């Protein structure tokens, strides 16, 4: 199947079944905004819960929630007002705006053009004779434009505010309060999940580059004189596929495969904490269904790195729609941000060592983009199965990641079957599962519908249920069916979502005609 096809197929299902679609569509859309429908919200929330389980709950790390609208002072101090900019060009004919580096990349197949700087971008635009991709008009000389959303705080007032483009500043400006709540000890981490906004010049490719998106970010604060990570042993034998700075410089495309321990020992990854989180990140991505061979960590070149970073690895995933895409950044932010806020606010951000000396903690940051992960989870789960009679779309989400876990359906809508099915539905709901009651159309159409939103288990109520209390359970992946008595349903559900084989739940029925 071609790349174009799978992206279009997923997007079509996403709209029709309610995963996601372009926002404000009744008013003609604005690029860079996505609306999640019912199954999309649930999938997204389940991924968020998995992230929290992997990165926060197990370690006992802190969480915070800081506002999206921020005082301008925060971003003045952090350097974002000076640095959070893109090289934009506008068409002198139609007036549309574009990122100059993206236009160059599209025309020349060059990579990471932004890292070459403004002079090179101006030159490359002219040298390659690049015109407006919409109307063919002449493009103006690129200028650096701020890509944060700006607003005024106070309906009568004039305090300039900005929407945060990342969550990290919240962890840094609130560092001291959290440090006190942690009884003044490092290392410790503060995590935050929430909306961020980037006023992109010309966002493209749907979910891949949004102006408003959800970030899951964590700042680990540590003493650079005592950089050991006591959890490293939990992931040290995980292999990670790295494209180091050296390799990137030489244009090497094939990653080297090393264990986290080797990567840290050989100084390919500069700190134990960064190695730890990259190992955790690899496992997290596997739990979404992405196998190790479709993951890699690519180092940023010095000129490509953000203004605050001393080492950054992008966590990349190989997609069928877009090739390798970044789903996370693992950055060594050093003491840049705390220093910046100490200077900006005059508040002392240093902390005390046991020996009486003071230091400003250094920061390791793993930062995952939840919207891209939602798309990646869908694409990874995607199968189009040809039954001979028709093409069926199936989303093979891991069982607990699926938007709905169980569908409950009466075979027909008469003879008391719907009422009986409602009592079964209540049993499922009482177990705490995400469940959907589906009584529309033929049973085959209903199975197809649930396959298309990835519901792993269907429970069907038929005349045997009325007579003997026997239910039919049907598995999304294998399309196999087993019989289970209604009294056993709670324990069977428990076993299935614990990971037991579907066939172990009860006697196998003749395979349905699907």
Choose between 90 and 271: whose C-beta lies nearer to its own copies: 90
Which 25-64 residues touch its own copies, going by CB under 8 A? 25-27, 30, 33-38, 40-42, 44, 57-58, 60, 62-64
Phi first, then psi, for residue 170 (nearest 5°) are: -60, -40
Should residue 69 be labelled a site residue for its own copies when binding is judged by CB under 8 A?
yes
Choose between 53 and 246: whose C-beta lies nearer to its own copies: 53
Choose between 437 and 447: whose C-beta lies nearer to its own copies: 437
Should residue 108 be labelled a site residue for its own copies when binding is judged by CB under 8 A?
no
Should residue 211 be labelled a site residue for its own copies when binding is judged by CB under 8 A?
yes
Should residue 23 be labelled a site residue for its own copies when binding is judged by CB under 8 A?
yes
Which 115-174 residues touch its own copies, going by CB under 8 A? 145-147, 149-157, 159, 161, 163, 170, 173-174
Q: 3-state DSSP call for residue 180?
A: helix
Half-sphere exposure for 435 (CA within 13 Å, toward CB): 20
The secondary structure of 398-463, three-state, reads CCCCCCCCEEEEECCCCCCHHHHHHHHHHHHHHCCCCEEECCCCCHHHHHHHHHHHCCCEEEEECH
For the beta carbon of residue 30, count every other beta carbon within 10 angstroms: 12
Choose between 9 and 400: whose C-beta lies nearer to its own copies: 400
* Number of chain positions touching its own copies (CB under 8 A): 85
Choose between 190 and 285: whose C-beta lies nearer to its own copies: 190
Query: CB of residue 284 vs its own copies: minimum separation in angstroms?
Result: 17
In this structure, the strands spanning 457-461 and 470-475 are: antiparallel
Should residue 303 be labelled a site residue for its own copies when binding is judged by CB under 8 A?
no
* CA 187 vs CA 70, 197, 281, 328: distances in Å: 27, 29, 19, 22
For the beta carbon of residue 485, count every other beta carbon within 10 angstroms: 13
Residues counted in the chain: 514
Q: Which stretch binds its own copies (CB under 8 A): 109-117, 435-443, 463-471, 492-500?
A: 435-443
Q: How far is CA 395 from the centre of its chain?
A: 18
Q: Which stretch binds its own copies (CB under 8 A): 66-74, 246-254, 318-326, 384-392?
A: 66-74
Choose between 65 and 477: whose C-beta lies nearer to its own copies: 65
Q: Is the backbone of residue 469 left (phi > 0), alpha (psi -120 to 50) or beta?
A: left
Should residue 66 be labelled a site residue for its own copies when binding is judged by CB under 8 A?
yes
Q: Which stretch binds its own copies (CB under 8 A): 20-28, 276-284, 329-337, 474-482?
A: 20-28
Should residue 212 be labelled a site residue for its own copies when binding is judged by CB under 8 A?
yes
Should residue 186 be labelled a site residue for its own copies when binding is judged by CB under 8 A?
no
Whole-angstrom distance, CA of residue 320 vs CA of residue 6? 7
For residue 160, what are the contacts with CB-CB under 8 A and spacing of at least 6? 72, 150, 151, 152, 153
Should residue 474 be labelled a site residue for its own copies when binding is judged by CB under 8 A?
no
* CA 84 vs CA 30, 164, 197, 371: distances in Å: 22, 11, 12, 21
Should residue 195 be labelled a site residue for its own copies when binding is judged by CB under 8 A?
yes
Which 326-355 residues touch its own copies, going by CB under 8 A? 341, 344-345, 347
Should residue 446 be labelled a site residue for its own copies when binding is judged by CB under 8 A?
no
Q: Interhelix angle for 272-287 vs 38-52, to 10°? A: 140
Out of 10, 11, 17, 125, point to the residue binding its own copies (CB under 8 A).
Answer: 17
């Amino acid at each position: 199947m071609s790349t174009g096809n799978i992206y279009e197929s997923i997007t079509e299902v996403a709209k029709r079944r309610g995963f996601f679609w372009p926002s404000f569509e009744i008013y003609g859309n604005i690029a860079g905004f996505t609306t999640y429908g019912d199954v999309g919200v649930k999938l997204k929330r389940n991924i968020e819960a998995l992230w929290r389980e992997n990165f926060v709950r197990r370690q006992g790390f802190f969480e915070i929630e800081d506002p999206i609208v921020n005082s301008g002072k925060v971003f003045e101090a952090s350097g974002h007002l000076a640095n959070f900019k893109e090289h934009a060009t506008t068409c002198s004919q139609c007036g549309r705006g574009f990122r100059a580096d993206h236009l160059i990349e599209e025309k020349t197949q060059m990579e990471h053009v932004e890292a070459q700087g403004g002079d090179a971008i101006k030159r490359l635009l002219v040298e390659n004779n690049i015109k407006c991709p919409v109307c063919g008009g002449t493009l103006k000389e690129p200028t650096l434009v701020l890509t944060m959303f700006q607003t005024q705080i106070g309906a009568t007032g004039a305090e300039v505010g900005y929407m945060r483009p990342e969550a990290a500043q919240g962890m840094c400006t609130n560092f001291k309060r959290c440090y006190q709540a942690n009884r003044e000890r490092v290392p410790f981490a503060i995590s935050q999940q929430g909306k961020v906004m980037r006023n992109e010049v010309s966002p493209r490719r749907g979910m891949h580059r949004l102006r408003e998106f959800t970030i899951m970010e964590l700042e680990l604060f540590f003493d650079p004189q005592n950089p050991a990570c006591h959890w490293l042993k939990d992931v040290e034998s995980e292999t990670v596929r790295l494209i180091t700075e050296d390799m990137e410089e030489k244009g090497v495309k094939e990653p080297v495969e090393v264990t986290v321990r080797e990567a840290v020992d050989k100084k390919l990854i500069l700190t134990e904490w960064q190695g730890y989180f990259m190992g955790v990140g690899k496992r997290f991505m596997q739990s979404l269904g992405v196998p190790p061979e479709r993951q890699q960590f690519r180092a940023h070149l010095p000129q490509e790195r953000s203004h605050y970073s001393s080492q950054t690895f992008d966590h990349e995933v190989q997609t069928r729609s877009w090739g390798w895409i970044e789903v996370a950044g693992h950055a060594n932010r050093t003491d840049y941000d705390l220093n910046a806020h100490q200077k900006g606010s005059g508040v002392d951000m240093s902390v005390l060592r046991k020996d009486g000396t003071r230091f400003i903690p250094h920061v390791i940051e793993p930062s995952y983009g939840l919207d891209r992960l939602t798309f990646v989870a869908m694409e990874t789960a995607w199968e189009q199965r040809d039954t001979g009679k028709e093409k069926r779309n199936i989303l093979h989400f891991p069982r607990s990641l699926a938007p709905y876990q169980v569908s409950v359906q009466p075979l027909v809508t008469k003879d008391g079957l719907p009422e009986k099915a409602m009592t079964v539905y209540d049993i499922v709901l009482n177990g705490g599962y995400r469940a959907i009651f589906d009584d529309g159309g033929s049973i085959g159409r209903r199975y197809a519908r649930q396959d298309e939103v990835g519901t792993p288990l269907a429970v069907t109520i038929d005349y045997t249920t009325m007579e003997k209390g026997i239910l039919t359970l049907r598995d999304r992946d294998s399309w196999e069916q087993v019989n289970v008595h209604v009294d056993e349903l709670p324990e069977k559900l428990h076993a299935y979502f614990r990971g037991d084989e579907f066939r172990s739940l009860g006697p196998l029925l003749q395979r349905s005609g699907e």
